[in-house]
Amino acid sequence: MLFNSIDFAIFLPVVFVVYWFIANKDLKLQNLLVSVASYVFYGWWDWRFLLLIFFSTSVDYLVGLRLAKEKKLLKRRILLWLSIIVNLGLLGFFKYYNFFLDNFISAFSFFGMQINARSLNIILPVGISFYTFQTLSYTIDIYKNKIKPTSDFISFAAFVCFFPQLVAGPIERASSLLPQFQKKRVFDYSKAVDGSRQILWGLLKKIVIADNAAVIVNDVFSHSGDFNGLTLFIGINFFIFQLYGDFSGYSDIAIGTARLFGVNLMQNFAHPLFSRSIPELWRRWHISLTTWFRDYLFVPLMRKLPINNLTKILSIFILFTVIGFWHGASWKFIFWGSYLGLIFLPSLFFRKERMTSVIAKGKIIPTFKEVYQNIRTFELFAIAMIFFRAESYDQIFVFFDKIFSLSIFEIPDFSNNVFALKTLIIITIFMIIEWFGREQKYAIEKLGLKWRKNYRYAMYYIIVIVIFWFAGQQQEFIYFQF
């Protein structure tokens, strides 16, 4: 079920009414409703995979209970590895089986040995990369004695399958989200209003920014051989806005929807397009994933290795290669991750690159240096996204060949220049609003709160009109495929 669909527009208010007006006096009934509604939401796409998420939930629930009782280190490790193998095994089969099989066959063919094995027509379950990491963090944290397991299966199931963030995050930790399903939730009008505002802004990001940019991006990548270098370069920049509008828009809708139900989810994007360095961008982009890998891969890895520049470089490359591979079973994602690791490395040797505060904090206009840093970071990231978005390895070479040729100085010529210009104007206005709201959790969090009520509601109506008037061609959320 898509957030930007009529189905969800009916589903959400129905669940909201039942949740607060019928099930509000019984915590277990509320959690049961959340679980059932989440299974309906997920099963709307393909009901056959409901068994998969239920199985994953059950395994980690039982492993968690057993870990709490087991005192022997060896048995605790066996239980932990049971959870890891089951979760990553399912993820590996559905997402990476054909990739490893094809590369295995190719490797043996290189040495003149033929292996008869067929690829399987496997459907990748939506959201498996997200809820797998969410349940894994639960058992790992119990193993490390950071949290205690719950004996309430219904609340644990609600934590795993909570529908706003089930399909594409944010990837929540049990220490943050699970306790919210274990205590009574009281309707808070201010939270509901704030959540609705964030949903509205998320819908604008997705429907107006991402879906319009997608038309240009799809055309550029479908006919990359027909365009000059500057057109391709602008096209990959449009993809950054498409991806940001699509994914951060999803996160805004997810976080806003959760607040309607009295649940707080972590911030997943912190205005990353205004970053001044690659490390800063990654602290602000897909925060739940980068912090997950930091805490469960990078930090443990650094603890096991001697601390020197070589091991830091090695750890950075491993981290970003795994992040790249998490995004897709293809060498192009591995190259993408490796490139990101490469452009991240200067932060290891030039600590001044590690920006912690918001760009031009408390100011309207940034300094020339900040503008330069922002543009440099944005374009380094844009070049990386050629690997991410390209449909083939040949297309990657086409992009690099043309972008780094004299055709980069030619006049851009899209298939529909008028539409490209209109979309650019819309994105520019959007980014101006994002700029003035860059110190907030989302751009319009504080916008209009001190205005007179009729002016504030006029702003909401204008946003709704913009969404309907400038809506692009409906597209699936990009991260559904991961």
pLDDT tens for 407-423 read 899 998 888 999 999 99
Residue 289 covered by a domain: no
Residue 180 sits in the same domain as residue 222: no
- Structural contact between residues 345 and 313, judged by C-beta atoms closer than 8 angstroms: yes
pLDDT at 24 over 90: no
Residue 26 sits in the same domain as residue 111: yes
Residue 143 sits in the same domain as residue 272: no
Residue 339 covered by a domain: no
Residue 304 covered by a domain: no
- Structural contact between residues 126 and 94, judged by C-beta atoms closer than 8 angstroms: no
Q: Considering 223, 271, 286, 327, which one is annotated as catalytic?
A: 327
Residue 69 CA, chain-centre distance (Å), reads 35
Residue 173 sits in the same domain as residue 257: no
Q: Which of 163, 164, 235 is nearest to 202 (CA)?
A: 164
Residue 41 sits in the same domain as residue 180: yes
Residue 74 sits in the same domain as residue 88: yes
Residue 210 sits in the same domain as residue 79: no
Residue 297 covered by a domain: no
> Domain span at residue 195?
190-276+355-481
Q: What are the helix (H) ranges across 261-392?
A: 278-284, 287-293, 299-304, 309-327, 331-344, 346-349, 368-389
Residue 238 covered by a domain: yes
- What pLDDT is attached to residue 114? 65
Identify whether 327 is a catalytic site residue.
yes
Burial 212-231, CB ≥16 within 10 A → b, else e: bbbbbbbbbbeebeebbbbb
- Structural contact between residues 257 and 195, judged by C-beta atoms closer than 8 angstroms: yes
Which stretch of DSSP H or E encloses residue 79?
helix 73-110
Work out the burial of residue 275: count CB atoms within 10 Å of its CB; fewer than 13 is exposed, 13-18 middle, 19 or more buried.
buried
Of 186, 216, 233, which one is at a domain's C-terminal end?
A: 186
Report pTM: 0.91
pLDDT digits (tens, 9 = 90+) for 29-75: 999 999 999 999 988 877 888 899 999 999 999 999 999 888 888 99
Residue 282 covered by a domain: no
Residue 465 covered by a domain: yes
- What pLDDT is attached to residue 449? 87
Residue 157 sits in the same domain as residue 216: no
Peptide bond into 125 cis (omega under 30): no
Burial 86-111, CB ≥16 within 10 A → b, else e: bbeebbeebbbebbeeeeebeeeeee
* Mean pLDDT, range 328-345, rounded to an integer: 87
pLDDT at 479 over 80: no
Of 168, 186, 204, which one is at a domain's C-terminal end?
A: 186
Residue 261 sits in the same domain as residue 381: yes
Residue 156 sits in the same domain as residue 254: no
pLDDT at 197 over 80: yes
3-state helix, strand, coil in the chain (%, to 5): 70, 0, 30
- Percent of the residues in the chain that have a pLDDT greater than 90, as a whole number: 59
Residue 391 sits in the same domain as residue 457: yes
- The count of structural domains within the chain is 2
Residue type, 159: F
Residue 346 covered by a domain: no
Of 140, 159, 186, which one is at a domain's C-terminal end?
A: 186
pLDDT at 169 over 80: no
Cα angle 130, 131, 134 (rounded to 5 degrees) comes to 95
Integer-rounded Cα Rg, in Å, for the chain is 23
pLDDT digits (tens, 9 = 90+) for 362-378: 899 999 999 999 999 99
Residue 270 sits in the same domain as residue 223: yes
* Mean pLDDT, range 86-110, rounded to an integer: 75
Average pLDDT over the chain, rounded to whole? 88
Question: How many whole angstroms separate alpha carbon 468 and alpha carbon 445?
Answer: 21
- What pLDDT is attached to residue 475? 79
